[in-house]
Amino acid sequence: MRVLVTRPLEDAKETARLLEAMGHEGIIAPLLEIRFHDGLPVSLEGVQAILATSANGVRALARRTNERSVPVFCVGPQTAEAAKAASFAHIKSAGGDVKALAEAISQWASPDAGALLHAAGQETEGKLESDLARAGFSVRRETLYEAVASVQLPEAVINALGTSNLDAMFFFSPRSAKVFCQCVERAGLAAQTTSLTACCISKNTADALSLSFRKVHIALQPNQSALLDCLRGHPP
């Protein structure tokens, strides 16, 4: 099967590699370009742990500090892998979504032990911070990167859609799903998605799709492994 991968380039390469190992072909179309913010080193003085809700948050923070001994609390396995690759020494993964991370932090940390630093993107919602604040934690947000949306699909993807040369597509966030639909509509190819299968990492992501698809599968867990399982259990 030919599967369109819409996540940012560095992460999309990993997904395409995993698809190839399953016998599929991953077609990379990054719809969000990650731009890291330059600036002064990020101080971790008085910080008991780092909150990482995306792999790009980890990568962005790693560019701005040489400190690797502060624990990193990660939303899921992909983010934890990014922390490991960046040589952080103490990593925990909630294995799910932001809600699961907030619940786990209440077990892993104490409000009295110091602030929590959220390595965030410009578009990152503040739900995690507000949930933790209600639990008595002090959370410091550092906005370290932004994800800039594409305004059009790569020419190769337009051609693949136009010639019905795709079988399925992966969506890893509500925003990437929304951007994809906008780009498809601008290209005048909305009718082409009715024969395709959309595999979404969460219900919120599926709800963000404004086009019609032949099938829409939602991963049983909000992580890449479960998303890949959509192809195993429910082939297009």
| 78: pLDDT strictly greater than 60 | yes
Domain termination residue (choose one: 147, 163, 195) = 147
- 120 forms beta bridges with 143
- Residues 11 and 98 occupy one common structural domain: no
| 93: pLDDT strictly greater than 80 | yes
Q: Is 87 exposed, middle or buried (0-12, 13-18, 19+ CB in 10 A)?
A: exposed
- Residues 143 and 192 occupy one common structural domain: no
**Coil vs helix vs strand at 109:** coil
How large is the average pLDDT for residues 192-196? 96
How large is the average pLDDT for residues 127-148? 96
Residue of 57, 208, 42 whose CA lies nearest to 146 = 57
Counted domains in the chain: 2
Query: Cα dist. 36→12, 59, 70, 183, 195 in Å?
Result: 17, 9, 21, 24, 37
- Torsion angle, CA of 97/101/54/144, rounded to 10 degrees? 140
- Residues 88 and 179 occupy one common structural domain: no
| 235: pLDDT strictly greater than 60 | no
- Residues 44 and 94 occupy one common structural domain: yes
- Residues 43 and 138 occupy one common structural domain: yes
Give the model's pLDDT for residue 236.
58
Domain termination residue (choose one: 118, 147, 176) = 147
Question: Where residue 77 sits, what CATH number does that domain have?
Answer: 3.40.50.10090
- Residues 122 and 201 occupy one common structural domain: no
Q: Distance between CA atoms of 103 and 157, rounded to whole angstroms?
A: 40
User: pTM value?
Assistant: 0.88
- Residues 209 and 170 occupy one common structural domain: yes
Q: Length of the chain in residues, anyone?
A: 236
Query: Tokens 């799709």 appear where?
Result: 209
Q: Distance between CA atoms of 68 and 20, rounded to whole angstroms?
A: 33
Domain termination residue (choose one: 109, 128, 147) = 147
What are the tokens at 29? Answer: 């179309």
Q: Distance between CA atoms of 26 and 147, rounded to whole angstroms?
A: 22
Q: For residue range 3-36, what is the model confidence (pLDDT) as tens digits?
A: 999 999 999 999 999 999 999 999 999 999 999 9
- Residues 103 and 69 occupy one common structural domain: yes
Kind and range of the H or E run holding 143: strand 139-149
Q: Looking only at Cα atoms, what is the longest distance across the chain?
A: 59
- Residues 166 and 208 occupy one common structural domain: yes
Query: Cα dist. 236→52, 166, 169, 218 in Å?
Result: 33, 10, 10, 13
How large is the average pLDDT for residues 38-57? 97
- Residues 26 and 42 occupy one common structural domain: no
Domain span holding position 169: 2-31+150-233
- Residues 172 and 135 occupy one common structural domain: no
- Residues 38 and 143 occupy one common structural domain: yes
Q: What is the DSSP string of 28-57?
A: E---EEEEEPP-SPPP-TTEEEEEESSHHH
Q: For residue range 162-185, what is the model confidence (pLDDT) as tens digits?
A: 999 999 999 999 999 999 999 999
